[in-house]
Every structure is written in structure tokens, then in C-alpha cells.
Amino acid sequence: MSLSLNPETTARTSRADTVATTARQVGVIGGGQLAQMMAAAAPGLGLTLMAQTPSAEDPAASHAHGLVLGPLAAPDSVRELARQCEVITCENELVDLQTMAELADEGVLFRPGLAALKALVDKRRQRELLDSLDVASPAWIGLKEALRKPARLAALGFPLMAKRCRGGYDGRGTEYIPNRVALEALAMGVDPGEWYLEALVPFERELAVVAARSSRGEVRCYPLMETHQHQRVCHWVQCPAPVPHPVEARARTIIASLLESLDYVGVLAMELFLAPQGLLVNEMAPRTHNSGHLTIEAAGTSQFAQHLRAVSGLPLGPVQLTAPGALMVNLLGFESHCGDYRPLREAIADLPGAHLHWYGKAEARPGRKMGHVTFLFSGASTESRQRELRQRLAALEQIWPRPGGGP
């Protein structure tokens, strides 16, 4: 598999569905912070955004043009969303593909398309797709198959990571499996058909790449990012990633190939491991992604505006960084609490160069993403940017503790 990609854009003839004019009314299934930031970007593009979400207290309510209240992807709710919008997209993978397929048969336009979503909302299907395209990922096996075929499991070895095929995020739906006893305990408490196992990768860095593809086949890829996890939840992201150029070039080639092979329309995010054997694809997200939040301040077009451009039929925007680099830090809940943290938020906002985004969630709990803050780097060299990163993290952690403490 190979595909050359200009760092800025690649134009191709698309097989994707098209609309004669720009879709000005966009619907999003989901009402969390991703939908919130998408809704904030819509007016600047001349678009309106409706969010279908369970509660009028969800983050998207603060910026959406309107709400359709109801369970995610419930037929009646999505049908009402479709009645008010010209195109529908998603902010998460917790969707009912069967319901969406029935609506698509009636002419409702979904972007990304349902064939792409089917391949990506299930993580085991992601692995099967990567295998079919000969894209390297951590060695894996279905849990049910592992229980039936001890030889296959022995070839994988321990320790392992167990992952739920659907619904897992922010550390949920993953389990560390150090030995056979732990594996058997997991198998006793879950449906083995809904989990898979993967080899534990001794990676050097965790990376992410975010790209978009339009309905006309235009592709634009943001610079490669490095992510850092705390207790299996993303803590901070820096861009550009401090890696050699061939690593970034390979990541761009992989994501461009996936966008093309899936006839994908919208923003796609891909998480990778930089391991001794090279780049390994960990997971993909068919939507805007936590790793791309820094593009709001640090890129010519934010990932949220880019996704709206793609799904509505507008041309894609520029993706170059507007500063030498950037750091985004998630403000993760460090306690169970129902306050608004105003004093802490004001202290963070007062940090030099801080761009604070607060999601307005009613309740905090350990590890929950309550907001994020972005800092732009001024240093031109990798070494100077790494110094800035350490200084920014140290200053922030004097105000906002990490959940559970530790490095």
C-alpha cells in the first residue's frame, strides 16, 4: 500500500456522495464538548448546527443553533434531526448504525458515510481493516478465539491489553492483563465476542495525526502530534511531534491511504505508537479528536471548522501551524465535585499565553475531561519548545492537580 501526499493538500476524483450546493444546516449526533466546539465554529462558516443529545444541560447546548432532545441515535430523534438539517455527522462512536442505515435508505445524508463508520466504530473491525491494507498495528487476537486456541494466545504472550470492541474511551473498556489468571477472570465477567487482546507495545512515543477529506477527494493533514497519557487518559498534546521527518511522512501516507480506501468525508484521527519496529496504528476515531484541540489556536483552520467544511461541501482550509508549536493540556477531574471551579479557572486564564476552554459540565469526577488549555510555543528549535513544555506544565500543575497525583 502506498500513496504520495503533499503536506498541504491532495486533490482526487471522489466516489463520495455530493450535494449540488453547500449544506448550510448541519446536524450532529451527540452533545458533548466536541459538538460544543463544532457548534462554536459553525457561524464563522455561515452554517447553523443542530445537536441531537439526551439533555439540555450537555455542553453543546451553549453554542448549538438548536437541540433535538432524545437518546443518541434513537430513530425518532435522528429523524427529527434529519428533518431540520441537510447533512448529519457524529461527535462519538456511540451510534446505532442500523437506525442510521434505515434513514440513509430514505435519503438522509450522513458524513462520514455509513460504510466508513461501520469499519471504524468497532475497534476489532479497525484491526481487520488495517490487516487488509497491510498497515502495521500491534499483534492482536479476538478474546473468544484466544480462549479456543491456546497456541495463538501463547504466540502473543503476556502481558496483554484487553480492549472492548465498542464503547471504550478515556481509559474505559481497556484492561491490563498480566497473566492467564487475569485473562480467565476477565473472560468470566464479559462477553468474549465483544473483546480482543493485543500485545503490549514497548513504544518510544505515542503520536497522533489528524486529517480531513472532502466530498471531492481533497485531503489535508495537520502536522504530527505527540500525546502523553495519564492513567490511560490523554493528559497533554504537543505539536509538532519531536520526531524525524520520515516518521511524520509515513503517518501522513497511512492516514491518506485510509481516507481514500474508505471514501471518507470529514475529519479522521489516528493514534499511533512509535515503536522499535516502526510506526504501529493503535486506534482511529471517525470524528474530531482530543489530540486536535490545539488547532483552534495553533492552525490556520481548526479541526472543528475543517470537519464542518468537509461534511457541508465547503473547500477545506489551510492546516499549517500559525506558531512554531503548541501545547494542549486536558483539565482532568481530580475529585467528585459539582462546583464550577471558578477560582481555578480564573487562575489558569491568567497564566501568560493561556487559551482556556471550559466545557460547562455539571459534575466533575476523577479523569473526566472538564476543559482544556492551549499554549502557543515561541521557540523555533525542538529543544526550546521542550523547555517551554516543561515550564508550562509545571505552572499549570501549581493550579490544577492531576487525578491520582504522580508524573
Residue numbers in the known binding site are 123, 163, 198-201, 206, 282-283
pLDDT of 170 reads 62
Is 25-110's fold the same as 139-199's? no
Given a contact cutoff of 8 angstroms between Cβ atoms, the answer to whether 372 and 330 are in contact is yes
* Peptide linkage before 159 cis (omega within 30 of 0): yes
Distances (CA, A) of 25 to 40, 42, 88, 260, 320: 14, 10, 9, 26, 28
| Nearest partner of 42 among 11, 86, 4, 8, judged by Cα | 86
pLDDT of 404 reads 59
What CATH code is assigned to 205-398? 3.30.470.20
pLDDT of 10 reads 35
Give mean pLDDT, residues 124-146. 95
pLDDT of 172 reads 75
- Residue 136, classed as helix, strand or coil, is coil
Using a 10 angstrom Cβ sphere, with 0-12 exposed, 13-18 middle and 19 or more buried, the burial of residue 15 is exposed
CATH class given for the domain over 25-110: alpha beta
The CATH number of domain 139-199, selected from 3.90.700.10, 3.30.1490.20, 3.40.50.720, 3.40.640.10 = 3.30.1490.20
pLDDT of 4 reads 35
| Nearest partner of 207 among 257, 249, 264, judged by Cα | 249
Alpha carbon 390 to its chain centroid, in Å, reads 25
pLDDT in tens, 141-191: 999 999 998 888 998 999 999 999 987 666 678 899 999 999 999 999 999
pLDDT of 7 strictly over 70: no
Given a contact cutoff of 8 angstroms between Cβ atoms, the answer to whether 131 and 125 are in contact is no
Helix or strand holding residue 307 (H, E): helix 303-312
Alpha-carbon distance 84 to 49, whole Å?
10
Residue numbers in the known binding site for ATP are 123, 163, 198-201, 206, 282-283
> Structural domain boundaries of the chain?
25-110, 139-199, 205-398
Helix or strand holding residue 258 (H, E): helix 245-261
pTM of the model: 0.92
| Nearest partner of 314 among 403, 214, 395, 233, judged by Cα | 214
pLDDT in tens, 279-336: 999 999 999 999 999 999 999 999 999 999 999 999 999 999 999 999 999 999 999 9
pLDDT in tens, 29-54: 999 999 999 999 999 999 999 999 99
pLDDT of 16 reads 38
HSE toward the beta carbon, residue 319, CA cutoff 13 A: 28
Q: Confidence class of residue 359 from pLDDT cuts 50, 70 and 90?
A: very high
pLDDT of 388 strictly over 90: yes
Q: Confidence class of residue 230 from pLDDT cuts 50, 70 and 90?
A: confident
Residue that has been written with the C-alpha cell 475531561 in this structure? 369
